[in-house]
Amino acid sequence: MLKALLWDVDGTLAETERDGHLVAFNCAFAESGLPWRWTEARYGELLTVAGGRERLLRALAAEPDAPPNAAERIALVERLHRLKNRIYAGMAAGGALRLRAGVMELLTDCRARGVWLAIVTTTSRANVEALLTAALGRSWTTWFASTTCAEDAPRKKPDPQAYTLALQSLGLRGPETLAIEDAPAGVRAAAAAGVPVVRVRSFYFPGGERSIEVAVGPSLIERAGWEPLAAPPIGRRIDLAQLRDWHRQHTTARRGPAVSDLT
């Protein structure tokens, strides 16, 4: 039985990578008088590195005008990352980051039906706080039974640490939950912790066939284009009933039918 929905943040709750982090990194460079500017395409390449700080460190290692001394480079990265997160928080507070279509409806479904919600991300807590305060109000924490962020799980996805910690704090087993993710690293992290996962394609992770996922599709607001097919009518959004259905099919296929399924 599905007891909790575990939400990734960046790319899943909102298009935060393209509309938030990328813009904020470029503003941080400009405010610091640095010449670097990342295009959408360049940032997409850098997203293979999980974690904003780690991403910046990797990028600066290839910049000819970055400090050649490793200690100075790390100090610069720390400063820029803090500034980026401050700018990101300001953008979120100003309404620049909206929840993706269908997210709010699904969060509301879960609250109404007693399915717990949890955040499982390896982004900084301040970013989650900023995004969700803007989207759900100051009491956003009351929506979630647990919130696992980079500060709790320093081993970034695809490491399963964030998912393992979230399961511990919820007191649930992986198959009692369902993760919503957009990126392959997130899918691998969830799967490695024994959590079934639905992948919703995003701006930076638009493709890829279904492999280990319970289901893969373009958006929570539409039923067209999902694999496996969503139940009709096609015009409806992906709601909790549909997720429960996919989850049941997936867990039944894994363990074989329960006696109650056969009678």
Work out whether 251 is an interface residue with ligand XBP (CB under 6 A). no
Work out whether 50 is an interface residue with ligand XBP (CB under 6 A). yes
Work out whether 46 is an interface residue with ligand XBP (CB under 6 A). no
Distance of CA 166 to the CA centre of its chain: 14
**Neighbour-count burial of 96, counting CB atoms closer than 10 A to its CB (0-12 exposed, 13-18 middle, 19+ buried):** middle
- Smallest separation (angstroms) from ligand XBP to the CB of 261: 34
Which positions from 186 to 205 touch ligand XBP by CB under 6 A, shown as an x/- string?
A: x-------------------
Work out whether 160 is an interface residue with ligand XBP (CB under 6 A). no
Nearest residue to ligand XBP, scored by beta-carbon proximity: 52
Residue 249 main-chain phi, psi, to 5 deg = -60, -45
Work out whether 157 is an interface residue with ligand XBP (CB under 6 A). yes
- Smallest separation (angstroms) from ligand XBP to the CB of 252: 29
Q: Which residues of 66-90 are buried (b: 16+ CB within 10 A; e: fewer)?
A: beeeeeebeebbeebbebbbbbbbe
Work out whether 164 is an interface residue with ligand XBP (CB under 6 A). no
- Smallest separation (angstroms) from ligand XBP to the CB of 43: 9
Work out whether 21 is an interface residue with ligand XBP (CB under 6 A). yes
Which positions from 107 to 136 touch ligand XBP by CB under 6 A, shown as an x/- string?
A: --------------xxxx--x---------
Structure token pair of residue 253: 């296929």
Beta carbon nearer to ligand XBP, 180 or 215? 180
User: Sign of torsion, CA 178 186 93 170?
Assistant: positive
Task: Based on the residue annotation, tell me whether 109 is a catalytic residue of this protein.
Answer: no
Which positions from 205 to 244 touch ligand XBP by CB under 6 A, shown as an x/- string?
A: ----------------------------------------
Q: Alpha-carbon Rg of the chain, whole angstroms?
A: 19
**Percent helix / strand / coil, the chain, rounded to 5:** 50, 10, 40
Collect all residues with Cβ–Cβ distance below 8 Å to 196 and sequence separation of at least 6.
Answer: 174, 175, 177, 178, 179, 190, 214, 247, 250, 251
What distance in Å separates the CA atoms of residue 135 and residue 204, rounded to the nearest whole number? 22
Task: Based on the residue annotation, tell me whether 10 is a catalytic residue of this protein.
Answer: yes
Structure token pair of residue 209: 């066939």
User: Which positions touch ligand XBP (CB under 6 A)?
Assistant: 8-10, 17, 21, 50-53, 121-124, 127, 150, 157, 183, 186
Residues identified as active-site = 8, 10
